Amino acid sequence: MPADPLQRSGSGDPLRTPHDWMDHDAGPVVRPYAMTGGRVVPSGTGIDLVAFVVSTMPDAGSGPHMHPEHHAIVAASWEPISVVELAAKLDLSAGVVRVLLGDLRSAGLISLYEPPAATQPHDVDVLKAVVDGLRAL
């Protein structure tokens, strides 16, 4: 008799099969696009990964479109933190954090500060000097 495809080895109950969306150690796994509503680009201008995030209202109330991730970002950025550090701290991808930061920036709940070097174009002469120095090694 062929084995039931719904049963896993060691499991006698076919109704208790594991789901692809469930991680028994971590709980339900939510895909990143579900957190952002399918959006992949932040609203407004782009957000640099080294930009600093500071919440303007650390105890912001619940808005109509505030998800738990929004609240976590506002709470984690009560003091300046870079976008990359924020993503690592919250265990979210940088792309998801950028989209959520765009939402929070539009709502006025955070401020973003980009370092001057990130907003200015690179000096070609400096880059050429670095390449020449590396070649000399």
Tell me, yes or no, whether 27 lies in a domain. yes
Tell me, yes or no, whether 8 lies in a domain. no
Residue 14 pLDDT grade (very low, low, confident, very high; cuts 50, 70, 90): very low
Which CATH number fits the domain that encloses residue 62?
1.10.10
pTM over 0.75: no
Residue 78, both tokens: 């009560």
Look at residue 4 in the predicted model and tell me its pLDDT.
Answer: 43
Highest mean pLDDT (candidates 4-18, 23-37, 58-72, 120-134): 120-134
Tell me, yes or no, whether 98 lies in a domain. yes
Look at residue 11 in the predicted model and tell me its pLDDT.
Answer: 47
Residue 74: phi and psi, rounded to 5, are -60, -45
Tell me, yes or no, whether 55 lies in a domain. yes
As a whole number of angstroms, the longest Cα–Cα distance in the chain is 75
Q: Which residue range(s) make up the domain with 100?
A: 15-116
Tell me, yes or no, whether 39 lies in a domain. yes
Residue 17, both tokens: 């099969």
Look at residue 8 in the predicted model and tell me its pLDDT.
Answer: 44
Number of domains in the chain: 1
